[in-house]
Amino acid sequence: MTLTVILLLIIAALVGSLYMGYGYHRLRRPVVLGAGVGAVAGVLGALLFMLPLNFCTFEPERAILDVGIGILLMGTGMGVVLFSAHWLSRYFLAKGKDKPVLTGDRVQGGFNTSVLIPLVLLIPTLIILTLFLYYPAIDLFRLSTLLARLNTPRTVFRCVDNFSQILDPQFSIVTIGAIILSIVLVVGIAYIQRIGETRNNPLYNTMRSLVTPTLLVLLLSITVDLFAPDYRPVVYNTFFIAGWTVILGILLGLAVAYLVFQPVKGAAIYRTLLIWPYAISPAVAGIIFFLMFDPLNGIINHLLSLIGIQGPNWIKDPWLAKWTIIIASVWKTLGYNILFCLAGLQNISKELQEAAAIDGANAWQRFWNVVFPGMTPILFFLLITNITFAFFEMFGTIDFLTKGGPAGATTTMIYEVYTLGIIEGDLGKAAAQSLVMFVMVIGITIFQFRTSGEKVSYGA
Amino acid sequence: MTALTQTYAPEKKKNANSWLPQRWYLHILLWITCFIISFPLLYAVIVATQTNDEVVRYQVTPGSSFDTNWETVMITRKLGSYMVNSTVQAIIVTVGKTVLSLLAGLAFVYFRFPGKWLVFGFVLMTLMMPTELLIIALFRFVSGLGWGDTMAAITVPFLASATGAFLFRQHFSNIPAELSEAAQLDGANPLQFLFRILIPISWNTIGALAVIQFIYVWNMYLWPLLIIRDERAQVVQVGLGSLRNIDTTLTYGPLMLAAVVTSIPPVIVFILLQKQFMSGFAITRDK
């Protein structure tokens, strides 16, 4: 163990004791006890990833990037263990409103039987989740530190090399631009608020509405910038294709749902005719659009030629190939989006809309000020499910439409995991890329829990 | 909690929603939308009956080659055998997952046991682990079991899920507690309670989960592509790929016919169970 490691562990102990000491102070428990628990939890957290890795990132010959990854891993482990320790302390020590509420604890009209019965009921589920989700998840972590080839039993430990090969953080023009724009926005908004000219100020309103898109672009751009030049396009493709599919799919779904929600004869038949693509598989969507967008024999280019436009080569142009995938995926997800938007529209108060109509609001104002706010929980739910679809399920569409081409222009992260791990047989690197996606999924999940103050859930 | 889909039937009375003055206009808009959304499949159905020549001439009427295409798809390329595999797989997973989810939901709502929060958290955490993410490690593990090319490989890993368990947990916790108390007074044991009382009043939720699972399993592509290498054990979504190249040239008719035939079972299941799907999966907002 080098001096760096010892130093980092001391820092971990200090951060942990401060964090938990403060936590115990708020729980009205001895601060010293909290600090002690925190120090132990901090060190354990720092060791969580470092012990399996045998502190290899801090070996003297390691590059600065590897040391950075090592520190990041220590921090992540620390965060996980400290958060759990804090939560457990609150659960077991706190009383009243400080005690975390566990929805799982609720029991109604419970059976007074032996403990064995509920366990027997749960055991099949637990065994399957352990064997086919938890075990592979842990194995994925192990694989990501190995040089492992498909069909070759022998493996070699290679520390975090699988990760440092796909990471190479550097700022791009887009990121720098987004940073400058967000600084301008923040300063501008603060200035206008200070001089108090916020009412009916078009500049102020424009700046306010630009904040969220700018921050979103900044976040996506920084994420893309983290990766090495040969992996960066893959991340960019994923964000581009997923982003446009999700945005267009939800907006179109909402528009069509609003249209079919109008009182009209035969609405039930129209609804069925509109939502059935939900049942079509991503692979079949890929096959049908493969024919429709065929540059020579496809119907789309034929229709374009009828109005005098020379149809482009959809599949061979890097930019158009992405859009072909997006169009096919929007079509495939539209039924699902319409379905849930319809369910959401049914929950919006008719009285409120009628009141707005009496007050002279036009159709667009009613939609924007009454319907849309009422729809946000559903739209948020759709955002999360659509992102998940775009990240994972789209594989079938891509495999049938473009096979990830031309020249990798439609290779998304999941497609790259498949190509690298199964076709080329580099399991270690593919495992590392899977874990990168895992981090993104965890990020989305945390965002979901944080932002949904009004919890959206699906269930009867 | 408010169930949103109680009023799924079309509204009859005129209300503030009717922002289009004349109804015929709305009908035309709806017809155009339905046509655009259905266009890819209509086109596929027409091409499915055509020869390559007819496809290239953009003939809009059904072609002359349905028999030949059908023979290519069903006899030469054995789509039927893929369909059988997919059907068996979808039924096993749908039934298995529904049963295991019912049992888990029962345990979560009607029992008190030590460490319940831990078990609950253990199941909850799996929401963050989509199978696709773990595919590399899962592939190694399942091949290591010697399950390559077997029905077990494409069914067993999908028999349990957090989504199913939580769907029933939420459904059961909205049922009044008096029901289970009355059942216990009558001397019912937990399984009798499940089969005599809970299941009969839960058909909508069961139907909703069944639709979702059937479509999910039927449309599964990446996992069978990896784990099944033997043609005879392959599922239909992957089997479609073999129709891309026939006699070295691409023939559109059989490919489209196969795509259409493949889509029939999930579309039928979806349309038949649409009502259950909507009411069972009613979106709820709870604080």
CA distance A257 to A338: 5
Q: Is B59 on the interface with A (CB under 8 A)?
A: no
CA dist., res. A326 & res. B208, Å (int):
28
Choose from B100, B136, B198, B284 for mutation: most chain A CBs within 10 A: B136
Residue A397: the pLDDT is 93
Burial B139-172 (b: 16+ CB within 10 A, else e): bbbbbeeebbbbeebbbbbbbbbbbbbbbbbbbb
Question: Higher confidence at residue A427 or residue B281?
Answer: A427
Query: Is B266 in contact with A281 (Cβ distance < 8 A)?
Result: yes
Radius of gyration of chain A (CA): 27
Among 1.20.1050.10, 1.10.220.10, 1.10.3720.10, 1.10.760.10, name the CATH number for the domain at A229-451: 1.10.3720.10
Mean pLDDT for the stretch of residues A232-244 = 93
Whether B75 is covered by a domain: the verdict is no
Q: Are A248 and A330 in contact (CB under 8 A)?
A: yes
- Give the whole-number percent of chain A exceeding pLDDT 90: 35
CB-CB under 8 Å, B9 with A274: no
A·B CB contacts under 8 A: 357
Each residue of B256-276: pLDDT tens digit?
Answer: 899 999 999 999 998 888 877
Can you spell out the DSSP letters for B239-266?
Answer: HGGGGS-BTTB--HHHHHHHHHHHHHHH
Q: Is the pLDDT of residue A452 over 80?
A: no
Name which of A126-135, A182-191, A353-362, A391-400 the model is least confident about: A353-362
A174-207 pLDDT tens trace: 999 999 999 999 998 888 888 877 777 788 888 8
B211 CB-near residues (< 8 Å, 6+ apart): B269, B270, B273, B276, B277
Instruction: Find which of B35, B108, B133, B184 to mutate to test the A interface (most A CBs within 10 Å of its CB).
Output: B133
- B window 179-198, beta carbon within 8 A of A: 179-181, 184, 189-190, 193
- Across chain A, mean pLDDT equals 86
Check: CB of residue A422 under 8 Å from CB of residue B139: yes
Interface test with B, best of A115, A252, A293, A346 (most B CBs within 10 A): A346
* Highest mean predicted confidence (pLDDT) among A60-64, A345-349, B42-46, B238-242: B42-46
Q: Domain of B232: which CATH number?
A: 1.10.3720.10
Maximum Cα interatomic distance, chain B, rounded to a whole number of Å: 74
Q: Touching check for B271 and chain A: CB below 8 Å?
A: yes
pLDDT for B77:
79
Contacts of B249 in chain A (CB under 8 A): none
Mean pLDDT of B9-34: 65
Mapped onto helix, strand or coil, the DSSP state of residue A120 is: helix
Residue A69, exposed/middle/buried by CB under 10 A (0-12, 13-18, 19+)? buried
B281 in A contact zone (CB under 8 Å): yes
Match 């428990």 to its residue by tokens.
A29
Nearest to A383, CA basis, from A326, A337, A420, A325: A337
Q: Which domain range does residue B167 map to?
A: 83-250+260-280
pLDDT exceeds 50 at position B6: no
Find all residues with CB under 8 Å of B279, minimum gap 6, and list them.
Answer: A460, B3, B5, B6, B8, B204, B208
Beta carbons of B263 and B86 less than 8 angstroms apart: no
Residue from A129, A149, A339, A359 whose CB has the most chain B CBs within 10 Å, to mutate = A129
B221 reaches A (C-beta below 8 A)? yes
Select the residue from A125, A254, A327 to test the B interface by mutation, using most B Cβ atoms within 10 A: A125
Q: Is the pLDDT of residue A101 over 90?
A: no
What is the pLDDT confidence band of residue B1, given thresholds at 50, 70 and 90? very low
Q: Which among B240, B238, B211, B208 has a CA at the least distance from the CA of B222?
A: B238
**Closest chain B C-alpha to A79 CA, distance in angstroms:** 17
A335 close to A249: Cβ distance less than 8 angstroms: no
Which of A260, A284, A367, A429 best probes binding to B when mutated, by most B CB atoms within 10 angstroms?
A284
Q: Does residue A105 surpass a pLDDT of 90?
A: no
Please tell me the total count of domains within chain B: 1
How close does chain B come to A24, measured CA to CA in Å?
A: 22
Q: pLDDT tens digit string along B159-193?
A: 998 888 988 888 888 888 888 888 888 888 888 88
ipTM of the modeled complex: 0.85
Q: Say what percent of chain B tops pLDDT 90.
A: 30
- In terms of pLDDT, which residue wins out, B284 or A301? A301
Q: What is the mean pLDDT of residues A116-131?
A: 92
Q: Measure in Å the smallest separation between the Cα of A196 and chain B Cα atoms.
A: 36
Distance from CA of A291 to the nearest CA of B (A): 7
Question: Is A434 an 8 Å CB contact of chain B?
Answer: yes
Task: Kindly report the number of other CB atoms within 10 A of residue A305's CB atom.
Answer: 12
Instruction: Look at residue B97 in the predicted model and tell me its pLDDT.
Output: 95
The rounded distance, in Å, linking the Cα atoms of A276 and B180 is: 38
**What's the rounded mean pLDDT across residues A352-372?**
79
> Closest chain B residue to A454 measured between Cα atoms?
B287
Which chain A residue lies closest to B31 (C-alpha atoms)? Answer: A270
Mean pLDDT of the region A363-387: 83
How near does any CA of chain B get to the CA of A314, in Å?
16
Residue A457 DSSP SS3: strand
Q: Averaging pLDDT over each range in A265-279, A347-361, A400-414, B271-285, which range is the top one?
A: A400-414
Q: How far is CA A235 from CA A33, B76, B106, in A?
A: 45, 41, 42
At B201 the pLDDT is 87
- Find which of A23-27, A200-204, A446-450, B53-57 is predicted with most confidence, using mean pLDDT: A23-27
- CB–CB of B9 and A350 under 8 A? no
Of A75-84, A109-118, A303-312, where does mean pLDDT reach its minimum? A109-118
The verdict on A115 touching B (C-beta cutoff 8 Å) is yes
pLDDT tens profile A421-449? 989 989 999 999 999 999 998 888 888 77
B165–chain A Cβ distance below 8 A for any pair: yes
pLDDT value at position B11? 44
Residues of B in contact with A286 (CB under 8 A): none
Q: What span, in angstroms and rounded, lies between the C-alpha atoms of A241 and A433?
A: 18
Does B188 map to a domain? yes
**Nearest CB partner across the interface for A264, out of B30, B44, B109:** B30
Across A230-244, A247-261, A281-295, B169-183, least confident range: B169-183
Tell me which residues of chain B, numbers 2 to 31, contact chain A at a CB-CB cutoff of 8 Å.
2-5, 7-20, 23, 26-27, 29-30
- pLDDT over threshold 70, residue A456: no
In this prediction, residue A109 carries a pLDDT of 67
pLDDT for position B280:
67
Residue A299: band (very low, low, confident or very high) from pLDDT cuts 50, 70, 90: confident
Q: Residue B9's pLDDT is what?
A: 42
Tell me what pLDDT residue A104 has: 54
Residue B284 above 60 pLDDT? no
Å between A379 CA and nearest CA of chain B: 11
Where would I find the H helices in A95-156?
Answer: 116-129, 135-143
Q: Do B16 and A356 touch (CB under 8 A)?
A: yes
Domain ranges of chain A: 1-99, 170-225, 229-451
pLDDT per residue as tens digits for the range B119-159: 888 998 888 888 889 999 999 999 989 898 899 999 999 99
Give first-to-last CA distance, chain A, whole Å: 55
Looking at beta carbons, which residues of chain A come within 8 Å of B103? 121-122, 124-125
Q: Is the pLDDT of residue A349 over 80?
A: no
Q: Please say if the pLDDT value at position A249 is more than 60.
A: yes
Q: Say which residue, B9 or A354, is predicted with more confidence.
A: A354
Interchain contact, B34 vs A460, CB within 8 Å: no
- Contacts with B11 (C-beta within 8 Å, 6 or more apart), sequence order: A263, A267, B17
Tokens of A264: 């009209």
Least confident of A265-279, A394-408, A421-435: A265-279
B98-120 confidence digits (pLDDT tens): 999 999 998 888 888 888 888 88
Question: What value does the mean pLDDT of chain B take?
Answer: 83
Residues of A in contact with B173 (CB under 8 A): 106, 108
Residue A99 has pLDDT above 80, yes or no: no
- Residue A454: pLDDT over 50: no
Q: What is the mean pLDDT of residues A58-70?
A: 85
Nearest residue in B to A275, CA atom: B37
Region of poorest pLDDT, from A48-52, A65-69, A320-324, A361-365? A361-365
| A99 has a chain B CB within 8 A of its CB | no
The candidate with the shortest Cα–Cα distance to A452, out of B21, B138, B286, is: B286
Structure tokens at A216: 């979103």
- Residue in chain A closest to B24 (alpha carbons) equals A264
Q: Confirm whether B157 is domain-assigned.
A: yes
Nearest CA in chain A to B214: A279
Chain A residues 342-361 with a CB less than 8 Å from chain B: 343-344, 346-347, 350, 353-354, 356-357
Distance CA A174, CA A162 (A): 27
Q: What confidence score (pLDDT) does residue A183 get?
A: 93
Among A230-244, A263-277, B64-78, B269-283, the range scoring the smallest mean pLDDT is B269-283
Whole-number Å distance between alpha carbons of A358 and A367: 14
For residue A17, pLDDT beyond 70: yes
Position B112 in a domain: yes
pLDDT of residue B142: 93
